[in-house]
Amino acid sequence: MTRTIIESKSKTAIIGFDQPFCVIGERINPTGRKILNTELEAGDFSRVEADAIAQVAAGATVLDINSGAVFSNKMAEDPRYADNNFVEPDLMKALIEKVQAVTDCPLCIDSSVPGALEAGLAAAEGRPLLNSVTGEEERLELVLPLVKKYNVPVVAISNDDTGISEDPDVRFAVAKKIVERAADFGIPAHDIVVDPLVMPIGAMGTAGLQVFTLVRRLREELGVNTTCGASNISFGLPNRHGINNAFLPMAMGAGMTSAIMNPIALPVGPKKLAEKKAEVEAAGIVLPADLDDEAFCKLFGLGSTTAKAGKEMEAIRAANFLTNNDEGGAAWIKFNKAPGESGGRGGRRRRRG
């Protein structure tokens, strides 16, 4: 049975066909997060630390650490900051050190810069997952020696020098090429986690069917674990959570064993809360004077004022239970138990006759 082992100093995460689905938390990534990027440029890692803690609390079993920041202000003062090969190695080291100081969750080191990957490998305690290698010749020659040197597993993305193919057979061939080249370096297939590349369903109607077929082939023919950027499937669509919630259990049923995703339902902000309160008041609804913000949010279906596990995590936990990767449903019951509620399955028996 294929098992990919990822370790911190004191914890082990296992990606495998007979294991609970591995959630790789994606939030420690400055790409597209302007506030986080600005904070990192100023040397402020408080949001990184908070994101690490919140993702683990929501159920992430591995944390992805991405160092792809753009330091525009420093760039204006020193042109070296325009080069990610200069910026990312030091930033990656600092990110990993900050995260390791607040959690012992295993890590995934994520960068397109080989120097940042090696800086992360040197700073990480245990056996992190490396993200990533592709089928591009230059990338294979740069990344696979690092994988071998540090004896770590690696994410293999199914694109090559020709780009990303819409043909799933081509993406399978790229994955097979990476697995074979890794074997030349003495890297076993169980240390390769293939990302078959999920396309947006809004742009390609067969995207879901494609990835399910690909995942089955990767499992049955190459014997490798798989991952994906889970939210890619719903890009550009309304109610993205609804699509994601359906996609993840279906991918798991096809054999996918992990995903890089946001495990957190972001809290309701003060602006949205104030707008809803004004709407309620305008409708003439009188609420109890002692109704706090959290109770208000629950009453009107807004969510929560604090970061909690997202709906995608609920779907994953249910699928773990249904595929017998949650023995006795213990994790499902714990996840759904209200504070102070006693254990046990309860429920009425079905009547016969």
What DSSP line would sit under 221-246, residue for residue?
II--EE--BGGGGGTT-SSHHHHHHH
Separation CA 333–CA 320 (nearest Å): 12
Write the DSSP string, 75-91: HHH-GGGG-HHHHHHHH
Q: Given this model, what pLDDT does residue 220 score?
A: 97
Question: How much of the chain, in percent, has pLDDT values that exceed 70?
Answer: 95
Architecture of the domain made up of 3-266: Alpha-Beta Barrel (3.20)
Rounded to whole angstroms, what are the CA distances from 183 to 149, 154, 179?
A: 14, 13, 6
The sign of the CA dihedral 169, 171, 176, 180 is positive
Element (H, E) at 168: helix 168-184
- The pLDDT of 83-109, averaged and rounded, is 98
For residue 191, pLDDT over 90 is answered with yes
What does the buried/exposed string (b/e) look like for 208-226 if buried means 16 or more CB atoms within 10 Å of the residue's CB? bebbbbbbebbbeebebbb
More confident residue, 244 or 336: 244
Kindly state the tokens that stand for 63. Answer: 């944390």
| Strand locations in 119-237 (E) | 129-134, 154-157, 192-195, 225-226
pLDDT single digits (tens) 257-310: 999 999 998 788 889 999 998 999 899 998 898 899 989 988 888 888 888 888
Farthest CA pair distance, the chain: 82
Q: Taking Cα atoms as reference points, which of 89, 76, 73 lies closest to residue 37? A: 73
- Pairing type for strands 264-265 and 308-309 reads antiparallel
pLDDT at 342: 53
Q: Cα–Cα distance between 220 and 353 in angstroms, integer?
A: 45
Q: What tokens does 270 get?
A: 């003060």
* pLDDT tens figures, 295-344: 998 888 888 888 888 889 999 999 999 999 999 999 999 888 865 555 44
pLDDT tens digits, 1-33: 799 999 999 999 999 999 999 999 999 999 989
pLDDT for residue 347 is more than 50: no
Antiparallel, parallel or unpaired: β 62-66 and 22-28:
parallel
